[in-house]
Amino acid sequence: MLKMGFLVIFLLLSLTSPGWCVDPRIYIVATYPYTERLYNTNAMVVNKDGDAFLSCAVDNRPVGMPLQWIWMWKEYTRSISTDTEATDPYKYQIDKPADNNWRLKIQNIQPSDEGLYICRVQLGDQQYANDSRTLFIVESPQIIDIYTSSDTTVKEGDPVELRCNASGRPSPIITWTRLGDGILPNGGREQRGYYLRITAAQAEHRGHYKCIAKNSAGQDVRVIRLDVKFHPRVTVVENRVYQATGYLKELVCQVRGNPVPTENQIMWSKDDSTLQGNSFLVFENTFGSNTVMMKLTIPRVQDQDFGRYTCLAENSEGADTTYIDLMRSDTPTSDRKGVIRSGAVILTFSITTLLMMLSVLLLHLC
């Protein structure tokens, strides 16, 4: 009874697909790089300039029917091999690791090699059994110098356009970020696109901008420095300060500018006459902040020292000025370090310090 059942099934199978047991079976057994599922196809992702391998196996090959590799892309078709001979030996190689195995090597892969690789065997007139893989060529991004800004200097108020572009496959996505405080001129920490645009450059836009070109194959990075020149801004803490006669007073103006004003570009004046002599001018450039302090020290304030002091600073971009009125007071005021000093006190202090340092030195020597 059981035997009869098997027989029936066998007969039915034979009838529905006559000759099923001798149908050729063709299949790609191995690939390098490995096959993955991409865009709904069996795909291989290959780096540009690399090589790829596809091994095709055939069971029950009809006698005398060649196995062929062909390439298809859109409406184009190209024959790669006739059984064991490659049509273009510089691009393709065929070998047979096993009797029923045809291995194709594609060398030095270029974007023009992208397409569908089919191994097929002819069954009858215009009838084929086949298997295939789609080859995608990728290339790691590389920033293109001629399409990418180098370090840039602009004047305050000027429009800025930083550009960045890279080669690569698929087309890289360009992203901008900012080093340091990280906030881009248009707000946000990240911005996409070839261009980073600033309508009117401001001092706070100075800094380093990073362009990242990224695709599935990798990334490339470029840092572009933006410098913004601006005219000096002279500021004071207070426009009116007080001191009693006989005491020391320090007048201080703060100057910001790019380029930073040099010692020859800052000036103190009192009642329309320039004050000269290095003992009156102290030049401090706090590194990187583009700021200098203009300091005018009056060791012992006398009657004729009261009045309006003007500090002026200039650079290539322009000039600025502000004033400090030194007013008489009955009681001594402290300087910015919070110490009330007269000229005599300074001298005493200096000698004491010197003696202390000497004794420390001597102690160390003993």
Ligand X SMILES: *[C@@H]1O[C@H](CO)[C@@H](O)[C@H](O)[C@H]1NC(C)=O
The residues that touch ligand X, with contacts defined as CB under 6 A, are: 118, 120, 128, 130, 147, 165, 167, 194
Query: What is the smallest separation between the CB atom of 283 and ligand X, expressed in angstroms?
Result: 45
Query: What is the smallest separation between the CB atom of 264 and ligand X, expressed in angstroms?
Result: 44
168: alpha, beta or left, given left = phi > 0 and alpha = psi -120 to 50? left
Query: What is the smallest separation between the CB atom of 163 and ligand X, expressed in angstroms?
Result: 6
Nearer to ligand X, 194 or 283 (CB): 194
Query: What is the smallest separation between the CB atom of 23 and ligand X, expressed in angstroms?
Result: 11
Nearer to ligand X, 194 or 306 (CB): 194
Burial (CB < 10 A; 0-12, 13-18, 19+), residue 15, is exposed
Distance CA 265, CA 322 (A): 15
Nearer to ligand X, 115 or 332 (CB): 115
Distance CA 127, CA 201 (A): 69
Nearer to ligand X, 213 or 228 (CB): 213
Query: What is the smallest separation between the CB atom of 85 and ligand X, expressed in angstroms?
Result: 20
Give the list of residues 6+ apart from residue 221 with CB closer than 8 angstroms, or none.
143, 210, 211, 212, 213
Q: How far is CA 280 from CA 3, 276, 297, 302, 324, in A?
A: 120, 7, 6, 15, 15
Query: What is the smallest separation between the CB atom of 118 and ligand X, expressed in angstroms?
Result: 5
Closest to 204 in 3D by CA, of 156, 273, 160: 156
Q: Which H/E stretch holds residue 128? A: strand 127-143
Nearer to ligand X, 31 or 243 (CB): 31
Closest to 46 in 3D by CA, of 220, 218, 219, 217: 217
Nearer to ligand X, 77 or 239 (CB): 77
